[in-house]
Amino acid sequence: MKLAYWMYAGPAHIGTLRIASSFKNVHAIMHAPLGDDYFNVMRSMLERERDYTPVTASIVDRNVLARGSQEKVVDNITRKDKEETPDLIVLTPTCTSSILQEDLNNFVERAQIEAKADVMLADVNHYRVNELQAGDRTLDQIVQYYIEKARRKGELPEGKTEKPSVNIIGISTLGFHNQHDCTELKRLMADLGIEVNEVIPEGASVNNLKNLPRAWFNLIPYREIGMMSARYLEEQFGTPYVDITPMGVVETARCIRKIQQILNAQGADVNYEEFIENQTLYVSQAAWFSRSIDCQNLTGKKAVVFGDNTHAAAMTKILAREMGIHVVLAGTYCKYDADWFREQVSEYCDEILISDDNGAIGDAIARIEPSAIFGTQMERHVGKRLDIPCGVIAAPIHIQNFPIGYKPFMGYEGTNQIADLVYNSFTLGMEDHLLEIFGGHDTKEVIHKGISADSDLNWNKEAQAELNKVPGFVRGKVKRNTEKFARERGFNEITLEVMYAAKEAVGA
């Protein structure tokens, strides 16, 4: 047993559901107790989804516990097959079903006889893998399933596309800025004259997965999701993959050069050097920003970076290499892939922290006292408490990290967004100096009464105590409304009764 207040990566089934519901017309059925379908709330809330999340639960209740699921799971699968006519139904085990040890494979086989849709059991062990690993695995499983299916039916298309083309693998729902990254990557491919063959899983149809081998190469923007599929496709079809995350000016260039090399090896004759130079020097503002006097003021400032492998590694490199910021500590919660992270960042930071214990990161931040933190929502809250600004760069995230405006982290527009994020997270240059010279902001002492809300009315003890129980953000309003009510009726003392009367009358 582990005492835990917070976790960075979710349970395995979340990863499976993220993949399944990213595809078009794929339905996931969770074998789970009541209340475990919280994924639907997250997707509906965070992504502001207009459509129903294609996830239902086959409820495990007391009866199931006593007698087994029997027909229930099979019935739920065939019912969903009729109601929604999905292409694929993914039966998703949860922590509960992994200990019930029901033969879910058998349910899948039985349901497959009747269902028009393909039916598959997500092959993930709740106690061994987390959300990210499960997502990677499920995507791989679905890709393999449809490649094998096409192969059996002899429907696997021959050869590559005429022009250089790419599969972008790993864009998924509830991923950090995934939608924006996807748009930016497509734009980048268009600029490079590369056709986008398939984007998976987001918005893809499983019927198109058989086309994956037609691409000249695969691009895996995120370390966490897509690597297994890329390796499978390489092994089966010899499709090379690029796993350099195009995040930051230097890495984007490196990614593009790698693409160039791969394409040329297959007989294309492309040279992207001019494009890279033009983008770097004149289109993206990030390289110029690093050179500008603003960024000078950031030189040597201390920062802490924490997040998933992809974002924490890329951010560390950007801060250290492109902005001259002193990254004291870089860390990741992807413990299962720690070696990769160490290798990526070791030359760009003083310390490396591999941990999924938020307390350990909090303590490290308190000890280091950086000028800024780049982390998850958890680090943002640590920053709030310690009065250190924080830019959010990785999941776990809240609704404010699903912006409506265009905010990619990848590609050349991504470099601009990151420059803004970094710049806004540090106290601005000149302001910083002025604060030093004048000894801090002078805002405490009241100079004029404009923003004061003190009044002449007397609150008795009980009423004052009651008022203090009102949550801070509405207390002022309640106070004003109550006093207005009291004044209008000529009370000069505010008692509990007056408070309630005011509330009843004006909704104070």
Q: Give the nearer residue to other proteins in terms of CB position, either 11 or 408.
A: 11
Q: Give the nearer residue to other proteins in terms of CB position, either 398 or 480.
A: 398
Give min distance, CB of 26 to other proteins, in A. Answer: 15
Give min distance, CB of 377 to other proteins, in A. Answer: 8
Contact window for other proteins (CB under 8 A) among 34-42, 213-221, 293-301, 403-411: 34-42
Using DSSP's 3-state secondary structure scheme, residue 92 falls into strand
| Residue ranges in 292-373 assigned as alpha helix (H) | 293-296, 309-317, 323, 338-345, 358-368
Using DSSP's 3-state secondary structure scheme, residue 439 falls into coil
Q: Give the nearer residue to other proteins in terms of CB position, either 67 or 469.
A: 469
Ramachandran area for residue 154 (φ above 0: left; ψ -120 to 50: alpha; else beta): left
What is the distance, to the nearest Å, from the Cα of residue 31 to the centroid of all Cα atoms in its chain? 25
Give min distance, CB of 310 to other proteins, in A. Answer: 21
Where do the DSSP E strands lie in 202-294? Answer: 217-219, 241-242
Give min distance, CB of 112 to other proteins, in A. Answer: 20
Q: What are φ and ψ of residue 166, in 5° steps?
A: -140, 145
Question: Which of positions 355-414 make contact with other proteins (CB under 8 A)?
Answer: 378, 381, 384, 396, 398
Among 16, 21, 31, 33, binds other proteins (CB under 8 A): 33
Give min distance, CB of 1 to other proteins, in A. Answer: 4
Of 75, 87, 191, 294, which is the active-site residue? Answer: 294
| DSSP character at residue 52 | P
Site string for other proteins, 105-134 (x = CB under 8 A): ---------------------xxx-x----
Identity of the amino acid at 307: G
Question: Which of positions 190-249 make contact with other proteins (CB under 8 A)?
Answer: none
Whether a cis peptide bond, with omega within 30° of 0, leads into 201 is: yes
Among 17, 19, 21, 37, binds other proteins (CB under 8 A): 37
First and final C-alpha spacing in the chain? 47
Give min distance, CB of 374 to other proteins, in A. Answer: 18
Contact window for other proteins (CB under 8 A) among 41-49, 257-265, 401-409, 421-429: 41-49
In the structure encoding, which two tokens stand for residue 172, read together?
Answer: 């998924």
Q: How many chain residues touch other proteins (CB under 8 A)?
A: 64
Q: Give the nearer residue to other proteins in terms of CB position, either 433 or 477.
A: 477
Site string for other proteins, 85-104 (x = CB under 8 A): x--------xxx--xx----
The rounded distance, in Å, linking the Cα atoms of 31 and 59 is 6
Question: Which of positions 288-307 make contact with other proteins (CB under 8 A)?
Answer: none
The rounded distance, in Å, linking the Cα atoms of 175 and 47 is 10
Ramachandran area for residue 35 (φ above 0: left; ψ -120 to 50: alpha; else beta): left
Among residues 149, 141, 117, the alpha carbon closest in space to that of 29 is found at 117
What is the distance, to the nearest Å, from the Cα of residue 221 to the centroid of all Cα atoms in its chain? 13
294 part of the active site: yes
DSSP letters of 468-508? HHS-HHHHHHHHHHHHHHHHHTT--EE-HHHHHHHHHHH--
Give min distance, CB of 388 to other proteins, in A. Answer: 15
Among 68, 70, 82, 83, binds other proteins (CB under 8 A): 83
The rounded distance, in Å, linking the Cα atoms of 175 and 167 is 18
Q: Give the nearer residue to other proteins in terms of CB position, either 4 or 428.
A: 4
Site string for other proteins, 462-501 (x = CB under 8 A): ----x--xx-------------------------xx--x-
Using DSSP's 3-state secondary structure scheme, residue 204 falls into coil
Q: Is 79 exposed, middle or buried (0-12, 13-18, 19+ CB in 10 A)?
A: middle
Report long-range pairs for 349-353 (Cβ below 8 Å, ≥24 apart): 349/305, 349/316, 349/320, 350/326, 353/306, 353/329
Q: Give the nearer residue to other proteins in terms of CB position, either 6 or 237.
A: 6
Total count of residues recorded for the chain: 508
Task: Name the CA radius of gyration of the chain, rounded.
Answer: 28
Q: Give the nearer residue to other proteins in terms of CB position, either 268 or 496.
A: 496
Give min distance, CB of 224 to other proteins, in A. Answer: 17
Question: Which of positions 53-72 make contact with other proteins (CB under 8 A)?
Answer: 53, 56-62, 65
- Please state, as a whole number, how many other Cβ atoms lie within 10 Å of the Cβ of residue 495: 17
Q: Give the nearer residue to other proteins in terms of CB position, either 35 or 450.
A: 35
Give min distance, CB of 101 to other proteins, in A. Answer: 10
In the structure encoding, which two tokens stand for residue 491, read together?
Answer: 């009370």
The rounded distance, in Å, linking the Cα atoms of 314 and 300 is 18
CA angle, 104 as apex, 232 and 111 as ends, to 5°?
A: 95
Q: Give the nearer residue to other proteins in terms of CB position, either 98 or 297.
A: 98
Question: Which of positions 10-29 make contact with other proteins (CB under 8 A)?
Answer: 10-11, 13-14
Does residue number 2 form part of the binding site for other proteins (CB under 8 A)?
yes
Among 23, 26, 27, 38, binds other proteins (CB under 8 A): 38
Catalytic residues: 294
Q: Which residues bind other proteins (CB under 8 A)?
A: 1-7, 10-11, 13-14, 32-38, 40-42, 44-45, 48-53, 56-62, 65, 76, 83, 85, 94-96, 99-100, 126-128, 130, 378, 381, 384, 396, 398, 466, 469-470, 496-497, 500, 503-505, 507
